[in-house]
Amino acid sequence: MNEESKTLNKYICFNLGVEKYAIPLLTVKEVIRVPEITAVPQTAPYFLGIMNLRGQVISIMDLRKKLNLKESNSVETTVMILNFGKNQLGVMVDCVNYVVSLSDNDISEKPVVSSAHNTDYISGVYRKDNELILILDIVKALSVEELQQLGMAA
Amino acid sequence: MDDFEIELKIGFLEEAEQAITEVESCFLILESDSMNIENINKIFRLAHNLKGSSKAVGFDEFGAFTHEFETFILKIKNGALSCTPAVVNILLQANDHIQLMINGLKSNLAATFDSANLLNQMKNYSEMPAVKNIDKLNPVTEIVSDVSTERYEPTIEELLAMAEAQEALAANQSKMILKPVIELVKTASPTVANAKQPQTVDESIRVALSKVEALLNSVGEMVILQSVLKEQVLGHENEALKKTVIQLSKISKEIQDSSMSLRMTAVKPTFQKMQRIVRDTAQALNKEINFVLKGEDTELDKTVLEKINDPLVHLIRNSVDHGIENSMIRTANNKSEKGTVILSAYHQSGKLVIEVSDDGGGLNPEKLRTKAIEKNIISENQKLTDDECRNLIFAAGFSTKEAVTDVSGRGVGMDVVKTNITELNGEIKITSVLGQGTTFKIILPLTLAIIDSLIVSSCDHKFAVPLTHVHETLRPTFQQIQKNQNIGETLLLRGENLPMYRVGDFFGLRSHLETTDLIALVVRSGEKPFCLMVDDILVQNEIVTKPLGLELQNLKGISGSTILADGKPALILEPQDLILRKKTEFRTNHKVIEKNERSNDRLRVA
């Protein structure tokens, strides 16, 4: 590790289909297996429902559907419970791989791609050997403010 | 003094202590930001409440002092005094004095104090700085607070001597302030001498709400795990293990019950406090009042109960003061000489209702309107319905009595009432018939409480329906069902035609069951009765409401969520809102118009 690299931040890496993503570790409260979920009728397709986390009722989103990723055969096995201030939210992902410590130098800007999709929620890219890991801005990715309108839409 | 009165007084002292801590920080803001109107208003309200409650529980001296205190603050509020450091000093001084009185009263409920010096300062204070000796007085105040802590026993003699010595020393400047020290020490000494006398021990503790909630969460989880454990042990042969599990489940049930009850208290003490208020107010005004209490055993969340106290005091005072006419007018109007004020509490539609009603003169909409125009609350050409006129009394700065009495009528009361109730997510309604009386109806949600519910299923989804909404349940027979082109199916029940709504329809869920296979929950909590159709009723249970995340709080027809016995969450339905959900789908435009109208109303009244 060279001296130039500044403070290290920890990221948690996970899979969505064949793609690999990472978010800052500190936003994650805990990682659990997919619990029993109670569906909430008439909500968006990516809104899976509500779950019981030790006496607390928490909403769960399907991150793959939320980001409009292609359907894949992989099975989603894991839920990450995220902290947004006082509010907590669960997101379902395929699996959680590992935690890495990265400095800002390790993260390069996202390549400019012409895409119809809004890619605002990708804040950077980390290359490791042959792997490409996309760093997510999870607040943007879940459009947390937008979610609060969800009930209105239903 | 009976036990009950002592309890009341001690309760008040606890409240007062909180209030003055709050006031103190406000005073400090005042010094740095004297133009902060909100801050001044808050101080005024706190002082006003302090005055009101102290008189209610019978601390007359305390009340007299806080009355002057309030008047002084009113001068600042009106701009007659500017917030110079000297003024703030007096305020803080007065605050210290109140603290002193509280401490003194705590150790001896009959303690008396000499407040003349401060009273004079407050009464006669002008822009001239006449209070140079305040700083010198401060050390004395410190001694005073030392005395009032509970550890004075061993040093009582010393203190007495010390205080007397100080008195001699500082006789010229601070005689008036020192006197209470002597008083206090003197009144304290008998307690020490007579050690057998039981000391007033505070038997309640204040616990942060978040802690209670954390406890309830953990207990809920424990109960669920408990039932899982019970299942797992079924296949076991080990008798000792089984026995232990059964015992454990009994205890966890007990823990659950007692932790649930932590939050709930009967309204009784709060209601009984009002008796004193009615008596004193009636005496001061020379009126005869028959005060009736109903439903005192109704339980309410502690936090809600605490916050409803001040609004109730105001409402009751208003009823006695403004509501009930004097006996001459009453006899002239063919009414009994004695006025009646009824305070009642009951549950309705899953909410708690507290009513204050009197058989007095009623509210005169015209009079209120004229008054509001006078006070610049509304403009002259504004058209208001009678109901809107009555609601004017909740506007800030509205008071129909000219003279400022210590009973009511400074134009803060009703304003505070409304604010406090709105803070609790409640509402207040007035019904009044001119010449016959006025009823204030406070409707409070029981959101924090435990709700008795039916767990129902509809199209494989489980929902909880609060039992308070359900009047009866039945399986409709073929003969009872009538089909109508416009309103769909209706249920003919004992001569009544009730519209039937399938729960699934509101959530886009299709049920293939015939109507005769469904169960009808008859809902009568609203203005119009209707039936909510579900597939099955699974169980009747006490449930604890859990808040939903922000992303789900706007769901219409759903008041929250709960965790069922199997550990899975379920949504709690709010039938009244639920059936609106369907209507809004068909009449979206109409809803927008309604909304606009409502916001206009608010503008006009405010």
Q: Nearest by CB to A57, from B462, B550, B563: name it.
A: B563
Cβ pair B496, B529 in contact under 8 A: yes
CA angle A60, A61, A66 (to 5 degrees): 175
User: B395-398 contacts: CB < 8 A, separation 24 or more?
Assistant: B395/B605, B395/B606, B398/B371, B398/B372
pLDDT at B410 over 70: no
- How much of chain B is in helix, strand and coil states, percent to nearest 5? 55, 20, 25
**Cα-to-chain-centroid distance, residue A129:** 22
Q: Do B507 and A52 make contact, defined as CB atoms within 8 angstroms?
A: no
Mean pLDDT of B225-254: 83
Print burial letters for B91-117: b (CB count within 10 Å at least 16), e (below 16).
bbbbbbbbbbbbbbbbbbbebebbbeb
Average pLDDT value over all residues in chain B: 74
The span from the CA of B411 to the CA of B321, in Å, is: 14
Cβ pair B122, B69 in contact under 8 A: yes
Strand partners, B344: B294, B355
What pLDDT is recorded for position B324? 86
Q: Nearest by CB to B549, from A41, A59, A149: name it.
A: A59
pLDDT tens-digit map of B25-80 = 677 677 667 677 777 877 888 888 888 888 778 788 888 888 888 888 888 777 77
pLDDT tens-digit map of B586-602 = 333 333 333 333 333 33
Tokens for B234, please give them. 């079924």
Domain of residue A134 covers 9-148
pLDDT at B489 over 70: yes
pLDDT tens-digit map of B114-127 = 777 777 777 777 64
What pLDDT is recorded for position B399? 62
pLDDT at B188 over 50: no
Q: Do B552 and A50 make contact, defined as CB atoms within 8 angstroms?
A: yes
pLDDT tens-digit map of A77-128 = 899 999 887 778 899 998 898 898 888 888 887 776 666 666 778 888 888 8
The span from the CA of B603 to the CA of B10, in Å, is: 42
Q: Do A52 and B568 make contact, defined as CB atoms within 8 angstroms?
A: yes
Tokens for B71, please give them. 């008047």
Q: Does B318 touch chain A (CB under 8 A)?
A: no
What's the ipTM? 0.75
Cβ pair B274, B312 in contact under 8 A: yes
Banded pLDDT at B154 (limits 50, 70, 90)? very low
**Interface mutation target, options A34, A47, A56, A145, chain B, most CBs of B under 10 Å:** A56
Burial of B281 (0-12, 13-18, 19+ CB in 10 A): buried
CATH number of this structure's domain B450-589 = 2.40.50.180
Tokens for B212, please give them. 């209670």
pLDDT tens-digit map of B342-354 = 999 988 866 789 9
Cβ pair B491, B475 in contact under 8 A: no
Three-state secondary structure call for residue B429: strand
What pLDDT is recorded for position A5? 52
pLDDT tens-digit map of A69-91 = 877 777 878 999 998 877 788 99
Question: Parallel, antiparallel, or unpaired: how do β-strands B461-466 and B569-573 relate?
Answer: parallel
Residues of B in contact with A38 (CB under 8 A): 461-462, 568-571
Q: Does B119 touch chain A (CB under 8 A)?
A: no
Which run of H or of E encompasses A31? strand A28-33
The span from the CA of B473 to the CA of B425, in Å, is: 30
Q: Nearest by CB to A54, from B221, B508, B562: name it.
A: B221
Residues of A in contact with B568 (CB under 8 A): 36, 38, 52
In a domain, residue A2? The reply is no
Mean pLDDT of B99-115: 79
In a domain, residue A60? The reply is yes
- The answer as to CATH 3.40.50.1370 being correct for domain B3-193 is no
Split into its structural domains, chain A has a count of 1
In a domain, residue A89? The reply is yes
Print burial letters for A77-86: b (CB count within 10 Å at least 16), e (below 16).
ebbbbbebee
Q: Does B569 touch chain A (CB under 8 A)?
A: yes
Q: Do A148 and B553 make contact, defined as CB atoms within 8 angstroms?
A: yes
Residues of B in contact with A43 (CB under 8 A): 552
Q: Do A52 and B567 make contact, defined as CB atoms within 8 angstroms?
A: yes
What pLDDT is recorded for position A30? 92
Banded pLDDT at B137 (limits 50, 70, 90)? very low
Homologous superfamily assigned to B265-445:
Histidine kinase-like ATPase, C-terminal domain (3.30.565.10)
The span from the CA of B518 to the CA of B533, in Å, is: 6
Residue bearing the bigger pLDDT, A42 or B536: B536
Supply the DSSP symbol for B430. E
Give the ranges where B538-587 is alpha helix by DSSP (H): 575-586
Mean pLDDT of B505-534: 80
CATH of residue A43: 2.40.50.180
What pLDDT is recorded for position A145? 62
The span from the CA of A123 to the CA of A102, in Å, is: 14
Please name which of B67, B77, B81 lies closest in space to residue B42, comparing C-alpha atoms: B77
What pLDDT is recorded for position B342? 92
B216 to chain A: nearest residue by CA? A55
Residues of A in contact with B551 (CB under 8 A): 47, 59, 87, 89, 147-148, 150-151
**Interface mutation target, options B552, B580, B595, chain A, most CBs of A under 10 Å:** B552
Largest CA distance in chain A: 54
B510 to chain A: nearest residue by CA? A41
pLDDT tens-digit map of B368-408 = 888 888 877 777 777 777 877 888 888 776 765 544 444 44
Residues of chain A in Cβ contact (below 8 Å) with chain B: 36, 38-43, 47, 50-52, 54-59, 87-89, 147-152, 154
In a domain, residue A4? The reply is no
In a domain, residue A80? The reply is yes
Q: Do B549 and A58 make contact, defined as CB atoms within 8 angstroms?
A: yes
Residues of B in contact with A36 (CB under 8 A): 567-568
Judged by CB atoms within 8 Å, which residues 450-509 of B form the interface with A? 461-462, 507-509
